[in-house]
Structure 1
Amino acid sequence: MRLQRLILIRHGESVGNEAASAAEFSGDEVIDLPFRDADTPLSPTGEAQADALGTALRELGVGLEAAVWTSPYRRAMQTSARALDAADLERAAMADERLRDRELGILDHLTSHGTLARYPSETERRAHLGKFFYRPPGGESWADVALRLRSFLAEAQGGSAETGVVFAHEAIIHLLRYVLEGWDEHQVLAAAVEAPAPNASVTLLERDPAGAWVASVVGDVTHLREHGVEATLHTGRPDPRVNRATEAAEEVSHVSAE
């Protein structure tokens, strides 16, 4: 039986999320972090969020027969390990480099203020090309990421598991939906603003009777509230009300399968 359900989970809050939001809010040019992006760990809040994901996995009926993948980045691997342990699933997620976060090239560790100050021509080029097709030097566009995710999904859907779980990053979640739900450039960029994926949130895609993928749950953080854990929403945008507020993260979006 081919894959019928795909559970998409954003990693818990990382120290990078905290530092990036603080830097944007303060108007700093550089995000003060000593780590590579790949090595950035969870914050204490992120660890608690990852533990609370065990409840979500149990309620979704995830068992040992499910296929579980993770981004190889430390924050995603920590989230998967803690969540699976909390769900009493004695197994490890399979790390797949195609699930890594989007690479930013020369813009890595820069805030929006830093990009504008140090690479004004890149800001202009991004405005001209649009967010989906803009590729920073040495980095990736959203379209580039979608290409590697098509490769991942071709393998994932060809396996024997009916349920799959992916621990990854917000951009990856939006682009997996882009590929599976047949979105266009405008739909995926709108979803990034209107239906964000809070840290440790759950998005559930299921096949309808015709075999098409449909989102039945988007950005669910109910399990965090049940455990008394703070919900966080770090989007990378300079508006601190978006980056730091928990109210938006708690507005769980349940979508009809119709």
Structure 2
Amino acid sequence: MDTVAELTIVRHGQSVANVAFAEAHAQGVAAHGLTGRDADIPLSPLGWRQATRLGRWLATQPADQRPDHVVCSPYRRARQTWNRVADTVAALGVTPARADLDERLVDRLMGDLELLTPLMIAERFPAEAARLAADGLYAYRPPGGETFDDVTARVRAALVDLHRHHAGRRVWVVAHDAVVVAVRHVLEDLSFTELDAILATTPIANTSLTRYAHTRGRLDLVGFAVVPPSP
């Protein structure tokens, strides 16, 4: 089957939710002050700087190592990440790749638990907190939300279309850590238990790259959660 020549999944830059959740956890409090939808969460000031650094790094890469095409999650933080990368690349005299949006590359849908910290879930939905503990992170389905099998199903369909429409090309996907996990599950046939063990030692950092190259008739992992050096 024809496939893309290279596939790189980029996690978005740090978001204001990444900051708020980390601060709430460090302080041992439930509330984080966020309102609105997860899809509308923007980058933090550090996230903008991370995306700028990624753009500067990308502009230094040889033409045959830059993406031919980009597919982006429609979530605000992912779009902002690629837009800043593209603007930075263009300002340095390099033409950025064209980008499309794909709804199948959004973050895991948490339904009624969207943007809730673990302590908020325990306080507001104690039965769901107990079910999450019993089912485990990957098998648990929040009310109105997704299991990781659901995430994998839509990511798998998106990958099929990438191969069909961009065979032989270098493609970047700008999305979320859940999408990175789903891609590794699909392309490497890793179980969620195996992936959980990997993530315990190698978290998927903001603006990190997970790269696959077409070798031996298939896509092989050549780098996982690698943050490019500052140029």
TM-score of the aligned structures, taking structure 2 as reference length = 0.89
Match runs of 1:62-81 below 5 Å: 66-81=68-83
Q: CA deviation at 1:212?
A: 3.0
Q: 1: CA distance between counterparts of 2:187 and 2:63?
A: 22
2:180 alignment partner AA: I
Aligned to 2:32: 31
2:47 alignment partner AA: G
Aligned to 1:44: 45
Of structures 1 and 2, the one with the larger relative CO (CA 8 A, separation 6+) is 2
Aligned to 2:87: 85
Find the partner of 2:113 among 107, 112, 122.
Answer: 107
Q: Is the 8 A contact 2:11 2:175 kept in 1?
A: yes
1:191 and 2:193 aligned: no
Match runs of 1:63-212 below 5 Å: 66-88=68-90, 89-160=95-166, 161-209=168-216, 211-212=217-218
Q: 1: CA distance between counterparts of 2:137 and 2:24?
A: 22
Q: CA deviation at 1:138?
A: 1.1
Q: CA deviation at 1:27?
A: 2.0
TM-score of the aligned structures, taking structure 1 as reference length = 0.80
Q: Is the 8 A contact 2:72 2:82 kept in 1?
A: yes
Q: CA deviation at 1:62?
A: 5.9
Distance 1:5 1:56, change over 3 A: farther
Describe the SS at the equivalent of 1:171.
Answer: helix
Q: 2: CA distance between counterparts of 1:69 and 1:221?
A: 19
1:169-214 deviations in whole A, cap 9, x for unaligned?
Answer: 11111111111111122122223322211111111111221x2322
Unaligned residue ranges in structure 2 (runs of 5+): none
Q: CA deviation at 1:123?
A: 2.1
Bigger share in helix: 2
Q: Is the 8 A contact 2:70 2:173 kept in 1?
A: yes
Q: 2: CA distance between counterparts of 1:65 and 1:220?
A: 16
**CA RMSD between the two structures:** 2.0
Unaligned residue ranges in structure 1 (runs of 5+): 228-258
Q: CA deviation at 1:92?
A: 4.2
Q: What is the identity percentage for the equivalent residue pairs of Structure 1 and Structure 2? A: 36
Distance 1:96 1:172, change over 3 A: same
Q: CA deviation at 1:221?
A: 1.6
Q: 2: CA distance between counterparts of 1:102 and 1:180?
A: 19
Q: 2: CA distance between counterparts of 1:117 and 1:93?
A: 41
